[in-house]
Chain A
């Protein structure tokens, strides 16, 4: 064959292929047109009143747009088809996701069909498309459809988390700033294989939480793992706090915000009860307990927040050598004598704080002694004066008034 003939042959084969493809597309289009001739009617409903219409335009633009009706609706072979048809099985294609869901808290299929999160199968978009129900900025609203209802929360004994989340720092970053990297529900809980926080496999199980939060907050997690709380958790001590114990899980606040400063101390105090009680006796607490003056020292202003270390550790902000600098953050001019102040002094403990114990004892005796004497003195005086007054008035012939 000469060169031109070979060229012709190639063109011919290309033409045949194109013609075949065109014929196939026309056939498919004919099949879809057959279905859509009924289901393209936007008012079409089944016997139970549920819409069974499909918008051809949306569907063809969707992730499933290249599929034919029969690919999913395998039970339907001819027209007319029966009223009752077997539901579509997504797992035929999405086997991994279906397996994940089957072992999750959402395993009851009747309550959690795929469409409950992904929306109608005819208008599914890729998860990085803003039209998708599982697009990061849409996830909280999607989950919130169930997890934002009090009735649902009561039924399953779960907190109504959507309002908490949406007002949190993550929720604000997501809903106000539109930050794709802001943590949404699935950043912490996963998507298909969601497990209860009681399940050791769950990313929200207590010992896994530092790792889960650390997938974004890597630096903080490193600090935390180096501190006493992180070490205790790593050693399997479930009493030690993880991220969510202090920051909460859903209603996470900006830690410098007044509201967080106001709520933080009782959180530490829920474990460190004796320290909370002695802190409450101090000016830091007295001033700080009242809203509006949030600058006074909270636990973590002195102890550090994530890398909490004992005073015996030279890296600790409360190590003796660091106290001048730590107190000096607020108290300009703090010196070695100033930092002898005990932020957890216990005036009721004679052994630990003898000087303070006796000062308090003296002041209490002074208070009790003075008041006791004068209350008796004044009461007797009142009675006697009134007695005299009445006697005098009676003597004058007046009324006993």
Chain B
């Protein structure tokens, strides 16, 4: 995965109605996100019927796809895709950190690792919500974005490990105690439920449905955002780049119409599927026993 500046480099400065666009996510990062959300939707759609196997819709869905042999197969298939995406990401991190010795991957303003500013931002943001202070200004990754990232990172490790422990239970039994085989299902289903509820409610709203981005933040699909949006959402990063004279390096081509339309179709579909699954989950969760 090339560095963000390199990816944007060379793009001629194009403007639509005089607006400049800046690169935020590289092509590889967008593909990774696409692999992540498609396999996650697949895992959620095939995992929820298992979690709530007594509910009517779960049985209907199972019947629809050709029974549970089929659903379990799709669940495992999506799990392998997600595992590969995760491993590619980890390999990329290792390469960037230890081969390219890229600065700022583990610390500093562009890192995903939480720092003191994130703690201050969280409290500052909460104060601003209730009108007790100014709105905090954010760097490249805001605290809730870092939380999303680490929640997914931790979730993939936990859900992945517990999932593979069930898939290959006799093998894992060589080095896990017997009760752990009971525990992995509890862990897998609870963590999976948390991931589903979190992504389909909190992540959707924080990233896409809140008034600043409504109805969808296109940047993860197109990779670029307008100068106005950049300045508004990540003013500290914008100013830092400007001060460093690196702002021009990030200028990118405006997204094509086809790119925006394609992104809308894919994005709205994903959000719609997610919201349907959220409703089904909540209905099954609060089903009177």
Contact = CB atoms under 8 A, between A and B. Distances in A.
Contacts of B18: none
Contacts of B49: 290
A375 B177 CA distance: 37
Contacts, number: 149
Given A380-B130, A389-B211, A292 B198 contact: no
**Residue from A342, A375, A381, A389 with most neighbouring chain B CB atoms (10 Å):** A381
The main secondary structure of chain A at its interface with chain B is helix
B211 A385 contact: yes
B67 interface: yes
A364 interface: yes
A381 B174 CA distance: 49
A286 interface: yes
Interface in B150-191: 151, 166, 169-171, 173-174, 176-179, 181-183, 185-187, 190-191
A363 B192 CA distance: 10
A283 B166 contact: yes
Interface stretch (B27-35, B50-58, B254-262): B50-58
A286 B52 CA distance: 7
Given A291-B68, A293-B69, A342 B194 contact: no
A334 B170 contact: yes
Interface stretch (A3-11, A175-183, A353-361): A353-361
A367 interface: yes
A244 interface: no
B80 to A, nearest CB: 19
Interface residues of A, number: 47
A356 B131 CA distance: 44
Interface string A372-399: 0011011011111110010000000000
A282 B193 CA distance: 16
A341 B181 contact: yes
B205 to A, nearest CB: 5
A341 B180 CA distance: 8
A55 to B, nearest CB: 55
22 contacts: A280-B54, A290-B53, A292-B63, A293-B69, A293-B71, A335-B170, A337-B177, A339-B178, A340-B173, A340-B179, A340-B181, A341-B178, A342-B178, A342-B182, A359-B186, A363-B194, A367-B190, A377-B129, A380-B130, A381-B125, A384-B131, A385-B210
Q: Give the 9 A-B CB pairs with smallest separation, nearest first.
A: A292-B67, A340-B178, A293-B68, A338-B173, A363-B190, A333-B170, A380-B129, A290-B62, A289-B53
